[in-house]
Amino acid sequence: MNLRRWLLSLCAVGVAGAGAFAFSNAARTSQPVYPHNRDIHADASALRAPYDPQLVQKNLKFWAAQTKLDSIDAVSRAQLAHWYLESYRETGDGADITRAEQAARASLKIRPTDGALLQLSRTLLNQHRFTEARHIALRAAPVNPGGYRLAADISYELGDYAQSEKYAKQAPPEGDDPSFYALMSRYSELKGQSKSQLDLLTKATAQADSNIDAEVQSIAWFHERRGRALFMDGQLDEAAREYERALQVFPRDYRTMAALARLEAARHNWKSAIEWGDKAAAIVPTPDTLALLGDAYKALGEPQKAAAQFALVEKIGDLSEAQGALYDRQRAIYYADHDLKPAKAVALARGEMKVRQDIYAYDTLAWTLFKAGKLDDAAANMQQALKWNTRDAMLWFHAGMIAAARHQNDDARRDLELALRINPQFHPTQPQIARDTLKRLGEN
Amino acid sequence: MKLFRLWFLVCFTVAFFALSRSARAHPMGNFSINHYARFEAKTGELRLRYILDFAEIPAADEMAKLDANKNDVISAAEKSAYLKSVAPQFLNDLSLEIDGKKVELSARKTDLEVIPGAGGLPTLLLKIDTATPLSEGAETSVVYQDSNFADRTGWKEILAVADKSLAIANSDAATKDQSRELTIFPIDAGVVPPRQDNAHFSIVAAGAQGALPAPTESANAQTPASSSSTTPQNRFTQSIAEKTLTPTVIIWGLLIALAFGAVHALAPGHGKTMVAAYLVGSRGTPRHAVTLGFIVTLTHTFGVFALGFALLFASRYIVPERLFPVLSALSGLIIFGVGLWLFMSRYQGLQNGHAHSHDDHAHEHDAHSHDHSHDDEHAHAHTHGAHSHTHDGDENDEAHTYVHGAHSHSHEGEDEHDHAHGDEQHEHWHGAHSHANDDEEHTHSHNGDERAHVHSAHTHAHNDAEEHTHSHDEHTHAHDDANSHGAHVHSHGGKAHSHAVPDGPITTKTLVALGVSGGIVPCPEALVVLLAAVKLHRIGYGMILIVAFSIGLAAALIAIGLLVVSARNRMTRLSALNEDSFLVRYLPLASAAIITLIGAALTLQATLGRM
């Protein structure tokens, strides 16, 4: 008798048996998880419960306790992952994402299909693991159309715009769906259709506002998106109002606080910018917020405070290098804007390009190459960044400056004028640089 | 094996240097500020230990204040000045009310540790001790609020405990220290980081709390559930976090690690103990037991470092929580495979009966030779354990069968003698017996025709080194290990075989397989110690603790192995068991079956995630 064959066969039978048992067990517990009943109400804002700072923590504790009660409860683990993601939205704390991923994977171990796939995909997306995130989202898609929606978002982040639109079409909305409008607005933004973009975001915020069941964090997100679109369009007052609406429903929204800091800095309201920047940085000190604070202190004649903020940006850079590259794009832009470490900035931008190839990755590389004096490469990348005719003043400013450096004066004038026309206050300092450059070009 | 050793050395070296040179990111996030407040009610005073743990980014902010001369070196004077400056500010943002009256807190003692963190950045651990007088009373109510860095994320833990004369009641504070003063942070998703920035409780006389309302629901929720999913915390994991490392502390730490390793090996649910014990006990030698223990130590130590390495440097690609079940399943499968292998080979051996003739062939003993002549005429008696019988060499002594169960066949101190079986066909069965042949030369011959005898798992002890021959008619055969017919394999010109009812092979492969399966799944305690060591920058000490833990683990396995080997040897000499040949014959089979079942159970547990 061939003992080895016997052993191998028996091992295979054992493993297959265990797998079959696990699978059948998982199949038995498979139930739909997330109801989509949404109550639309005109006075939803009056009826909706206000923001509860303890809500996330309460839910985390509840679902964590549930997971301990039942070792094969996939739903509890998926819910735990969901609430860690919500916690991340409030804290920006990477530890929350790590735990969300753990919980989602634990859920999927019990029930490998649907359920926590979307949560897992979101955790990966937040870690900028785009390709993995899209793969997981697409695994969920056949059962949950939300998977296509998420895959569309991730594809957009990756710069795979055509594929993104295809995925979006595979998950048409059921009725008025603010998430769908928000996704559609991104394509309008990409293609420079500002009016369409704003219309879609207006519909999205209205729908979110009228939904009693919508989470305040989600509602705030729609308002922040609309505020950002208004800011890009040069409607700064309206943008500020939109940001404030976001903060009314979700007072801890550090992203909106940072957006307000940028807006106030663009208006040269430095003290207000510092106020909002400090609030945002107290929750999550991102490099762009810290850099903006540094610029604000510098503008107010407080070089020591400015230097302290810039030093922190450097520290975050050190940490990023030690741990991964979440902030490479922000750091690259920071270095380029402040005429620091041109070679380093280019290296960071090239690193970012390896992760995703969206228009802003091309823009970042072009801008850092320009600062490094590599004008032809900069122009080639800028062309890629502008190939969709996106109406972002910053992009056109960068294009104009590159063209000016290459002595393509007509192109430079056209691009810089367009930048100022789209939004004359798109940045605290760069509009003035654009005006100065135009003046110089006019003199020549 | 050479390749394995080389691979192991390379991995170990890489892990060692990587761990030595790098520090781990703060487990609560790089920009977290973690809070800890521990109230301890004592007779006459309420003590508060308040700790702030600044992760890399907030620490960088604080360093700007701390490093006054900006030389990147923190002097004692700078520490002192910083603490004098910030301690009152931090205390000012703590609100403490005792019996409704606000209490001014002042620092009794302060301390600051600058601990290197990720990316070459420091982290800070700031400690402030305060004490507030307590007046005599039946019940004292305490309300506490921490407003320091209220918006910043982090671990926020509040505890309230009392000494023996007092008790805590009506409390929403925790009673168990989850983070060991912010030195160990549970990394399991099932353990939600506390985010409590306020608490209330009452201080009452011990025994009086029975009359008061039970602790609130939230207080219960604060108490960590005693679940396997929580980060293990015990004297072993604590030993890495001792405040100062004196030689005494280190020696105690090592002893504790050894003890915990040993206890861990004996803990229920550890198939490795059973597997090792049964394998070694079934037919092994002390050398096998020691080898097995050594392999377990190496594998376990390596496993902890490898998983720690993955956790620290490759967590983006490898999720340790997913690796555990895989390793557990792998361990289970190895045990299952080895068990099945042993079972089948033993069962086969039992089925075959293994009778054969020694006609016309020769075998040799490596180190010696002896003669066993059975063709002599003189009669003699010899003792077989509890019974004796005589082979009188009579012509009538024909066609007989002698059954020698588990007996000892002693030739000690006897003069040279012959052991005659006449010329007739006969068969005798040596169950599991030993031939002790200390001093004297003797002969033992099989010269009859068509005789068959079976040596079942018995040993021939030839303790002397004297030359002697062992003749089976016209053949000689070689004893690999000089002594045992039960274990040795020899050839009579044809296929190699053993005289034993086979126990299954104790080979290097099976030893390595079982050793690896015993050590491959890193114990959570050891992993916690490794990670805490990295966080506390005590990597060298942490590694020594883990090695000590693994040695303790292995020592327990070796001890069990030696015990079972010894027990088995003794058992074979027990007269009571000599007659119970069934037990002796089927024990190896039973042990193999148990190993197989353990392997199957471990594999199923790991596969189904019900560990």
A69 and chain B in contact, CB less than 8 A: no
Q: How far away is chain A from the Cα of B28, in angstroms, using its nearest Cα?
A: 5
Question: Residue A195: what pLDDT?
Answer: 96
Do the Cβ atoms of B190 and A60 come within 8 Å?
no
Tell me the pLDDT band of A414, cut-offs 50, 70 and 90: very high
Minimal-distance CA residue of chain B relative to A107: B609
When scoring B31, B34, B596 by the number of chain A Cβ atoms within 10 A, the one with the most, hence best to mutate, is B31
Phi, psi of A115 (to 5 degrees): 40, -105
Question: Residue A228: what pLDDT?
Answer: 97
For the cut 70, the answer to whether the pLDDT of residue A33 exceeds it is: no
Return the minimum-mean-pLDDT range out of A25-34, A150-159, B4-13: A25-34
Average pLDDT over residues B553-559: 79
Q: A428 versus B450: which is more confidently predicted?
A: A428
Which residues from B are below 8 Å from A85, CB to CB? Answer: none
Tell me the pLDDT band of B464, cut-offs 50, 70 and 90: very low
d(C-alpha B476, C-alpha B466), whole Å: 17
d(C-alpha B187, C-alpha B307), whole Å: 14
Which residues from B are below 8 Å from A16, CB to CB? Answer: none
Which residues from A are below 8 Å from B32, CB to CB? Answer: 93, 95
Dihedral of CA atoms A297, A298, A304, A306 in degrees, nearest 10, equals 60
User: Please, which residues bridge with residue B459 across strands?
Assistant: B434, B484
B18 and chain A in contact, CB less than 8 A: no
Closest CA to A332 of A353, A304, A305: A353
- What residues have CB less than 8 Å from A188, skipping those under 6 apart? A194, A196, A197, A200
Query: Residue B119 is nearest to which of A10, A92, A323, comparing CB atoms?
Result: A323
3 state SS for A183-250:
HHHHHHHHCCCHHHHHHHHHHHHHHHHCECCCCHHHHHHHHHHHHHHHHHCCCHHHHHHHHHHHHHHC
Question: Residue A398: what pLDDT?
Answer: 98
Q: B485 versus B66: which is more confidently predicted?
A: B66
Alpha helices, DSSP H, located in A30-69: 44-47, 55-69
Tell me the pLDDT band of A152, cut-offs 50, 70 and 90: very high
Task: Bin B361: left if φ > 0, else alpha if -120 < ψ < 50, else beta.
Answer: beta
Return the minimum-mean-pLDDT range out of B23-37, B89-103, B262-276, B303-317: B262-276
Minimal-distance CA residue of chain B relative to A319: B119
User: Please, which residues bridge with residue A20 across strands?
Assistant: none
For the cut 50, the answer to whether the pLDDT of residue B487 exceeds it is: no
Please name the helix (run of DSSP H) or strand (run of DSSP E) that holds residue B383, with its range, or none.
strand B380-384
Which residues from B are below 8 Å from A277, CB to CB? Answer: none
Residues A342-355 pLDDT 10s: 999 999 999 999 98
Please name the helix (run of DSSP H) or strand (run of DSSP E) that holds residue B113, with its range, or none.
strand B109-116
Query: Residue A322 is nearest to which of B119, B149, B151, comparing CB atoms?
Result: B119
The mean of the pLDDT values for chain A is 88
Residues B16, B22, B24: CA angle, nearest 5 degrees: 110
For the cut 90, the answer to whether the pLDDT of residue A293 exceeds it is: yes
Tell me how far CA of residue A173 lies from CA of A140, A226, B505, in angstroms.
17, 20, 67
Return the minimum-mean-pLDDT range out of B41-45, B88-92, B109-113, B392-396: B392-396
Question: Residue B340: what pLDDT?
Answer: 80
B608 and chain A in contact, CB less than 8 A: yes
Task: Bin A333: left if φ > 0, else alpha if -120 < ψ < 50, else beta.
Answer: alpha
A326 and chain B in contact, CB less than 8 A: no
Length of chain A counted residue by residue = 444
CB pairs under 8 A between A and B: 147
Tell me how far CA of residue B156 lies from CA of A285, B95, B242, in angstroms.
19, 15, 22
Q: Percent of chain B scored above 90 by pLDDT?
A: 19
Question: Residue B419: what pLDDT?
Answer: 39
Q: How far away is chain A from the Cα of B185, in angstroms, using its nearest Cα?
A: 11
For residue A51, the 8-state DSSP code is P
Burial class, A297, CB count within 10 angstroms (exposed 0-12 / middle 13-18 / buried 19+): buried
Average pLDDT over residues B492-498: 38
Average pLDDT over residues B194-214: 76
Average pLDDT over residues B175-185: 89
When scoring B22, B26, B30 by the number of chain A Cβ atoms within 10 A, the one with the most, hence best to mutate, is B30
Q: B74 versus B558: which is more confidently predicted?
A: B74
For the cut 80, the answer to whether the pLDDT of residue B418 exceeds it is: no
A99 and chain B in contact, CB less than 8 A: yes
Minimal-distance CA residue of chain A relative to B155: A95
Q: Which of residues 9-28 of A touch B (CB under 8 A)?
A: 10-11, 14-15, 18-19, 21-22, 25
Question: Residue B342: what pLDDT?
Answer: 72
Tell me the pLDDT band of B381, cut-offs 50, 70 and 90: very low
Tell me the pLDDT band of B426, cut-offs 50, 70 and 90: very low
For the cut 80, the answer to whether the pLDDT of residue B324 exceeds it is: no
Write down the ipTM of this complex.
0.79
Q: Percent of chain A scored above 70 by pLDDT?
A: 88
3 state SS for A374-439:
CHHHHHHHHHHHCCCCCCCHHHHHHHHHHHHHCCCHHHHHHHHHHHHHHCCCCCCCHHHHHHHHHH
B301 in Cβ contact with B547 (< 8 Å): yes
Give buried/exposed letters for B26-60 (b at 16+ CB in 10 A, else e): bbbbbbbbbbbbbbbbbeeebbbbbbbbbbbbbbb
For the cut 70, the answer to whether the pLDDT of residue B59 exceeds it is: yes
Burial class, A417, CB count within 10 angstroms (exposed 0-12 / middle 13-18 / buried 19+): middle
Tell me the pLDDT band of A87, cut-offs 50, 70 and 90: very high
Tell me the pLDDT band of B350, cut-offs 50, 70 and 90: low
Query: Residue B118 is nearest to which of A10, A15, A319, comparing CB atoms?
Result: A319
Question: Residue A6: what pLDDT?
Answer: 52
B255 and chain A in contact, CB less than 8 A: no
Do the Cβ atoms of A319 and B30 come within 8 Å?
yes
